Amino acid sequence: MASHQNYHGLWFCKKREIYLLFLIVYRSSVNLNVVNSLIKVNGMDIGTMLGDSFEYTKEAIVGKWMQWLLLVIATILLCIPLLGYSLKVFRGEKPAPEITGWGTLFTDGIKYVIVALIWAIPALIIFFVTISAGIMALFGYPAAMYAGSMTLSVDPASVMRAIVPILFGLILFLIVAIITFLFATIGIIRFARTGSMGEAFNFREISVTIGKIGWGSYILSLVVLIVVMIIIEIGSSILGSIPVLGIIIELVLIAPITLFESRYLCQVYDAASG
């Protein structure tokens, strides 16, 4: 009986947190005009883009429970069909497209993953080389192996030798990852619009697109998205901490969050022609 009461007490506390989260969202929407004036740059109205993305997502799932269920199924299937569906959103389809053509969704989702992995290769190489160099410096390899033995003892000098390449590598990894992210985001949308995986790596056209958007505006729009996604993730974590139901709630929210993000990025891309 006590555990039952504790469960309800925990649920009541979480409900208050959820209500607080929605209150924050509501207050934010009320002050949207203030946000617009703060982050409207170079003709890109980021506040309106956020609002449009929210409305787009809401219209796609609220009252359309079967469509939401299909999106959840697409999430359960390793998110592959969900990524394929994201490409349809990237193409600028409005309102949100129906969940049809599962074969195409799977195929497009796999292509999406391949494109993303190819873009990630430079950063991944730097990361693994950095870790490997750090381990070698830490344990005295390959010098110890050349001498015919593998020394696993760690001394302060080895630690210092390991710190330098690791720090340098991590900084280089971060720089490459950021640059890759800037180009890959537009590249993936180009792939969605053209249907050609090669266009996802067309550096010249990607640079032209970003130039039309404005490098400052483009970077700012992505920073705003990252901040919003962090806030959403915090809210999702609050919901996810509810015993048993939390896992289900988080699973159900993955598709709407993905839809919101995809619609926002679609508008960022379209700002190049606006």
pLDDT in tens, 82-115: 999 999 999 999 899 999 999 999 999 999 999 9
* Burial degree of 151 (CB within 10 A; 0-12, 13-18, 19+): middle
- 44 pLDDT higher than 80: no
Q: Is position 15 within any domain?
A: no
pLDDT in tens, 148-172: 444 455 566 666 767 877 888 899 9
- Report which of 92, 86, 90 is spatially closest to residue 105, judged by C-alpha positions: 86
Instruction: Pick the range with the lowest mean pLDDT from 26-35, 66-75, 213-222.
Output: 26-35
What one-letter code names the amino acid at 168? F
Structural domain including 97 reads: 31-270
In the structure, what pLDDT confidence band is assigned to residue 185 with cuts at 50, 70 and 90?
very high
Q: Is position 167 within any domain?
A: yes
Q: Is position 188 within any domain?
A: yes
Q: Is position 14 within any domain?
A: no
Q: Provide the total of helices (H) and of strands (E) in the chain, helices listed first.
A: 11, 2
Contact 137, 154 (CB under 8 A): no
Q: Span 214-235, mean pLDDT?
A: 94
Instruction: Pick the range with the lowest mean pLDDT from 134-138, 185-189, 197-201.
Output: 134-138
* Number of domains making up the chain: 1
CB under 8 Å to 265, separation ≥6 — which residues?
A: 90, 185, 189, 225
Q: Is position 138 within any domain?
A: yes
CA distances, 177 to each of 225, 229, 272 (Å): 17, 18, 23
